[in-house]
Amino acid sequence: MFEKFAKTGKVADSNVIALNNRPLEPQPDEVAPEQTTEETQLAEWLELKSSLHDALLDRLNLSVIEKVESDVLRREVAGVVSAALAGSGKPLNGDDFNRLVGELLDEILGYGPLEPLLADPTINDILVNGYKTVYVERYGLLERVPVRFRDEKHLLRVIDKIVSKIGRRVDESQPWVDARLEDGSRVNAIIRPCAIDGPTVSIRKFSAKPLTMDKLVASGALSEQAAQFLRALVYSRLNILIAGGTGSGKTTMLNAMSSFIDPKERVVTIEDAAELQLQQEHVVRLETRLPSPSGGGGVVQRDLVRNALRMRPDRIIVGEVRGSETFDMLQAMNTGHDGSMTTVHANSARDALSRLEQMVTMTGIEFPASAIRSQVASGLQFVVHLSRQADGTRKVTSISEITGMEGQVVTMQDIFVFQKRGRSESGEVLGEFVPTGIRPRCYEQLQACGVDLDPGTFRAAGT
């Protein structure tokens, strides 16, 4: 069927992949029997695909798979599948045959059942709850999809394929892992014994073209006035904290705001799993590393923040602060690294500051609460808070300026807020993103940086 590759790795005259000479035809009991129910049909389909997949893997020269053009591989796999089905005496119709070949190629070259979901631009999140159950998020709402893995072993194989590509592992001694796909999509996987009902995978997809601020304005995430204000803050090198709950759009907002950074500046990004999509040319990306099986060699975000300070950065961007690196990030913001940005999980702008204070204590050093709050108040200038609404849309709920300290309290004032007015009959959240009427204290600083911002930007309606 297939000609062999020479030991040199060059393709033989037929330009196809090497296979052994053993027959590929599945045994009669491997071919789907007469279909009765939907569940039976699915089980038989998965069994057929699995038997063909195992046979192909046993015969393919995997070391040179990536050197073969996709149409050549498809043609040869289709020929082998056709021969196998003909030998079984139960050929498939054209649509099912093409589907089978496509799914086999997904197994060989990609991530199996996940491939169609990864290719669907309308899907933002893929949530695998065990091998039988898969949910996706479309337009902010969850829905179950008719996708499943053959068994738990199949799902574990796909997880291993994902994490091994970036040098990470997941096993009983380390049952969870953060990883990323080639396109920058973020992956979290957790397996037994921590995942009681079987392996679970969560994938946060990112589009090849990151959302711009203009697109966020068009989608109703914030107003044009607020977008221009954020542009002014970034251009003027103010330090900004982006806060919100899970899936509220923090990373999307950080990517959009980063587009306003001067391309002449040197930007260093620090992340657990690299996912930021900055559009500047001069960007240095740093990523943490898990310890080796022997327990050594681990690199945490705090190590990378400290190292970044020695790399002559104009700006430092931490994808998300979660622990003791918060202290070093605040130190950087207070020692001349203006224009830095980071994100944090928090339910409100005020809660975001409390979270920072709590994470500074994770350093193990006993700082007085007043000292920590003073660092926050002097290092940060603005908090941008986002939330996911009941209808699935993501909106900026407030842009708040940190104005200093009053006693033991960090003081803040809202410059823009989202005023919710209820929901329409179709369930859409109604409201407007409006200025509060307060002119920010940094207005003169923005002007000094050359920002031409109309004072009317901050005028409340009716005033």
- 167 shares its domain with 103: no
- 64 shares its domain with 129: no
Q: For residues 244 and 242, what is the distance between their CA atoms, to the nearest angstrom?
A: 7
Query: Domain ends where: 51, 77, 109?
Result: 109
- 365 shares its domain with 420: yes
Place of tokens 């990306």: 285
The answer to whether residue 2 is domain-embedded is: no
Please list, residue by residue across 394-413, b when 16 or more beta carbons sit within 10 angstroms of its beta carbon and e when fewer do: bbbbbbbbbeeeeeeebebe
Q: Round to the nearest angstrom and report the end-to-end CA distance of the chain.
A: 80
| Distant-in-sequence, close-in-space partners of 454: CB < 8 Å, separation ≥ 6 | none
- 42 shares its domain with 183: no
Residue 242 C-alpha from the chain's centroid:
16
| Contact assessment for residue 60 and residue 19, using Cβ atoms and an 8 Å cutoff | yes
Q: For residues 150 and 49, what is the distance between their CA atoms, to the nearest angstrom?
A: 9
Query: Domain ends where: 154, 184, 204?
Result: 204
The answer to whether residue 373 is domain-embedded is: yes
Report the interhelical angle of 224-235 vs 250-258 (nearest 10°). Answer: 60
Largest CA distance in the chain: 84
- 121 shares its domain with 94: no
Reported as a single tens digit per residue, the pLDDT across 223-270 is: 999 999 999 999 999 999 999 998 899 999 999 999 999 999 999 999
The answer to whether residue 321 is domain-embedded is: yes
The answer to whether residue 15 is domain-embedded is: no
Q: What is the DSSP string of 378-394?
A: HH--EEEEEEE-TTS-E
Q: Residue 416: CA atoms inside 13 Å, Cβ hemisphere, count?
A: 25
Q: For residues 33 and 22, what is the distance between their CA atoms, to the nearest angstrom?
A: 25
| Contact assessment for residue 242 and residue 254, using Cβ atoms and an 8 Å cutoff | yes
- 272 shares its domain with 363: yes
The answer to whether residue 299 is domain-embedded is: yes
Query: Domain ends where: 159, 176, 204?
Result: 204
Give the per-residue pLDDT at 179: 85
Query: Which amino acid is residue 252, in one-letter code?
Result: T
| Contact assessment for residue 397 and residue 386, using Cβ atoms and an 8 Å cutoff | yes
Q: Burial level of 71, CB count in 10 A (0-12/13-18/19+)?
A: exposed
Q: Which two tokens stand for residue 360?
A: 């500074």
| Distant-in-sequence, close-in-space partners of 165: CB < 8 Å, separation ≥ 6 | 179, 182
Q: Burial level of 296, CB count in 10 A (0-12/13-18/19+)?
A: exposed
- 148 shares its domain with 244: no
The number of folded domains in the chain is 3
CATH of residue 167's domain is 3.30.450.370
The answer to whether residue 436 is domain-embedded is: yes
Q: For residues 433 and 136, what is the distance between their CA atoms, to the nearest angstrom?
A: 29
Tell me which H or E stretch contains 420.
strand 409-423
- 314 shares its domain with 173: no
Q: For residues 437 and 460, what is the distance between their CA atoms, to the nearest angstrom?
A: 4
> Which parts of 89-138 fold into alpha helices (H)?
94-109, 115-119
- 51 shares its domain with 139: no
Residue 363 C-alpha from the chain's centroid:
27
CATH of residue 258's domain is 3.40.50.300
Beta-carbon count within 10 A of 183 CB? 12
Report the chain (463 residues): mean pLDDT per 10 consecutive residues: 37 40 46 58 77 68 65 76 71 79 82 92 94 93 92 93 86 87 89 95 83 93 96 97 94 94 94 83 90 80 93 94 92 90 96 95 88 95 96 95 95 96 91 95 94 89 69
| Contact assessment for residue 368 and residue 376, using Cβ atoms and an 8 Å cutoff | no
Q: For residues 440 and 21, what is the distance between their CA atoms, to the nearest angstrom?
A: 76
| Contact assessment for residue 339 and residue 260, using Cβ atoms and an 8 Å cutoff | no
User: Edge-to-edge strands of the sheet including 200-204?
Assistant: 141-144, 134-138, 123-129, 200-204, 186-190, 176-180
Q: Which residues pair with 435 in a beta bridge?
A: 416
Parent domain of 156: 115-204
Q: Which two tokens stand for residue 321?
A: 């602060």
- 367 shares its domain with 415: yes
- 92 shares its domain with 194: no
Beta-carbon count within 10 A of 377 CB? 19
Q: Which two tokens stand for residue 132?
A: 């039988």
The answer to whether residue 51 is domain-embedded is: yes
Strands 267-271 and 283-287: parallel
Number of H helices, E strands in the chain: 13, 15
Residue 431 C-alpha from the chain's centroid:
28
Q: Burial level of 240, CB count in 10 A (0-12/13-18/19+)?
A: buried
The answer to whether residue 82 is domain-embedded is: yes
| Contact assessment for residue 128 and residue 159, using Cβ atoms and an 8 Å cutoff | no
- 126 shares its domain with 93: no
